[in-house]
A and B are shown apart, each in its own frame.
Chain A
Amino acid sequence: MKRLTPGTILAALAFAALLGADFYAPRLINPYVYQILWLCGINVILASSLNLVNGFTGQFSIGHAGFMALGGYVSAAIAVFAGHALGGVPAWLFLVSLLSGGLVAALAGLLVGLPSLRLRGDYLAIVTLGFGEIIRTLILNVDAVGGARGFTDIPILRLLLSGASEPTPSLSIVSCTAFLSVLIIYRMIHSPRGRAFVAVREDEVAAEALGIDTTRTKVTAFVVGAFFAGLAGGLFAHTTGYLNPSSFQFMKSIEIMVMVVLGGMGSLTGSVLAAVLLTVLPEALRAAQGYRMVLYSALLIVLMLARPQGMFGSTELRLPWARKGPGKP
């Protein structure tokens, strides 16, 4: 058992606060702010899982939205069709559907990860991009999940505590899943085995020479990244209650990648903060109307020019009193 450090205590407190969100959040904030908060949660999962692939393992995936779409659609389909068969959607079914969404996405991650044995850099990028487009085209043609019209009437993950009849999605579940995802990815990277990810990024040949199974490491990164993306997709489906293939276009993958680069490649805390920032920023810019996207893109360029390594580079944001972590990646 590890020593109880201030960091651990703080993390536990934060987790407790997130778990209680369903209790206090709907009383304090209006549904609009509420929605932005859970969107932040979902984006945090997406950004940190992509950081594992692109930032820590140094691969080049631009098809993350494809995994998200797959997870979202699988999870929604299970909840809808099994829900019909059961005459309702019990809590355990959500767990099953979310996890299967993640697992199917992970399987797809394995499929995409395997070519990464042969391909590098931009060639790998094309494969992931192609995969994302293939998934989307397939979904467009499945009428059972709505095709171009979109998948409607997806059961919503209800509030945990208040038992309200209103179908308000649960912020607690989203935020706690986000918290746990980041924690799991963090522990993975900082585990002795997990150092292999960074080794592969820094120098594949040297890593191989050290006895690291680089193939396995890369595929692991893809599978784990895809799993969390699928999970995020499932949460997205069960919070918006509606899915449309156009939500998972190539630009969505790019948006997630922007979060990773802005936060800093190889900085999980950076990814978390960037995900939140880039979810809130477009909302803050809403008043600018037609100029909003122009401002957004100009800001993106400025941020990249002024701070090319992202907000945090490859360092993690640490609390001043926290114990020094196991070294910088």
Chain B
Amino acid sequence: MIFSREFRVRTVAASILVATLGVMALAGCQGGGKAVLKVGEYGSMTGGQANFGISTHEGIQQAVDEQNAAGGIAGIPVEVTKYDDQSKAEEAQTAVQKLVNQDGVISVLGEVASSNSLAGGPVCQRAGVPMISPSSTNERVTKVGDFIFRVCFIDPFQGNVMAKFARENLKLSNVAILKDLKSDYSVGLTDVFAKSFAAAGGKIAVIQTFSKDDQDFRAQLTSIKATNPDGIFIPAYYTEVGLIARQAREQGITAPLFGTDGWESSKLTEIGGKALDGCYFSTHQSMDNPDPLVQNFVKGYEAKWGKKPDALAALGYDSAKLLMSCLTELAKQDPEGFKALQGNATPVNRDARKAAQKKLRDLIAATKDFAGVTGKISLDADRNAVKSAVVLKIKDSAFSFATSIQP
């Protein structure tokens, strides 16, 4: 034998450890026989986009908990199985494979980053499992197939909204863009905005880029300052925008900054502070909207998670709400099919389940004027959400309504 006795002992020890973990894993999986509606979720719980994934998950969990507290769907509780994709495309694909083919979930919610949705989407499409992305804005995501939906805007819409707003409301004519090279969200919006703004008669002074992990944007901002723009468009997430704003003001740039729904978070003003006064961003809904739907969500979220919700949490909440409302509808229309969706997939109910998932897909596709926290959602023929956008103005670390733009 090539192995020493010591190595064998250690191998046994390692096997015991692995077996313990295996037992843990099995223990976690048990109890599948009872009547629950299993919904899958994949997102970044670790890695560079973890904060986005966690926010989204909190929104989803809140929606599901509210539903279960109200007696579930036709008396059946909803259970969310969540997997971490480490903010990596190939992990996202494996996670969705596990949700769809191993755990047998009814439907999948996720992801934030379009790149991860593009990796996970085809798996759902192939298996005939409806997938609703809360916040993947790239056009391509729903083009994967007819089982893929989303509850957020797509890049072209939001890019146009901001171009129009910058040109008509802010009367800007010379705008610089600062984009995140590593984010599909940022790159996609930049393309649309640049085209649309130029078409409206404006001029793009310069496009500068940064990378997601950067902390120092001074070099880009100094270069931008040299071109003397009257506004800077920053399609990026709140994580970077706060710092960018600070450093811009520090360099003596006084032009307003404006951006997109990735800005919406209380962290934005916490980090950016005064530097953000007089800046604008487009988003789905003002969280100050007196609509009880919005206020209940905000209050519930604050009570549950001890912080203010951001746009991603609201979109996560809406994606889960939309799915559950369609499930409720399914329970009414097709009780037999609804029954097949409960519990685990078995060889017996396989076909009935597939048929019910197809029906669920049709119900989601027919969504019209669904009252969500992020506005009234209707899904168009390309399974994209059509809804109005609002532009919020930042003043003294608070967001106030500036204008609303219809699709």
Q: Is B2 an interface residue (CB 8 A)?
A: yes
Q: A286 vs B82: C-alpha distance in the bound complex, in angstroms?
A: 10
Minimal beta-carbon separation of A322 from chain B (angstroms): 11
Contact B25 A148 (CB under 8 A): no
Contact B89 A246 (CB under 8 A): yes
Minimal beta-carbon separation of A288 from chain B (angstroms): 7
Q: Is B102 an interface residue (CB 8 A)?
A: yes
Q: A30-B101, A290-B84, A292-B84 are in contact. Are A152 and B118 (CB under 8 A)?
A: yes
Closest to A306 in B: B10
Q: Which residues of A contact B97 (CB under 8 A)?
A: 31-32, 35
Q: Which residues of B contact A39 (CB under 8 A)?
A: 90, 94
Contact A246 B18 (CB under 8 A): no
Q: Is A186 an interface residue (CB 8 A)?
A: no
Contact B102 A246 (CB under 8 A): no
Q: Which residues of B contact A15 (CB under 8 A)?
A: none
Q: A30-B101, A150-B115, A284-B21 are in contact. Are A289 and B94 (CB under 8 A)?
A: no
Residues from 89 to 117 in B contacting A, C-beta threshold 8 Å: 89-90, 93-95, 97-98, 100-102, 114-115
Q: Which residues of A contact B101 (CB under 8 A)?
A: 30-32
Minimal beta-carbon separation of B288 from chain A (angstroms): 32
Chain B, interface SS category? helix
Q: A290 vs B45: C-alpha distance in the bound complex, in angstroms?
A: 7
Number of interface residues of B (CB under 8 A): 47
Closest to B103 in A: A32
Q: Is A215 an interface residue (CB 8 A)?
A: no
Q: A32 vs B98: C-alpha distance in the bound complex, in angstroms?
A: 5
Q: A274 vs B391: C-alpha distance in the bound complex, in angstroms?
A: 53
Chain A residues in the interface with B (C-beta under 8 A): 30-33, 35-36, 39, 140-141, 147-150, 152, 166-167, 236, 240-247, 283-290, 292-293, 295, 306-307, 315, 317-318, 320
Listed by A's residue number, 26 A-B pairs whose Cβ atoms lie within 8 Å are: A30-B101, A31-B100, A141-B181, A147-B184, A148-B184, A149-B114, A149-B115, A149-B118, A149-B138, A149-B184, A149-B187, A167-B126, A242-B119, A243-B89, A244-B89, A244-B115, A246-B87, A246-B182, A247-B90, A283-B98, A284-B22, A284-B25, A286-B98, A287-B21, A290-B46, A315-B2
A-B interface, 5 closest residue pairs, ranked by CB to CB distance from nearest: A287-B25, A149-B184, A32-B97, A244-B89, A32-B101
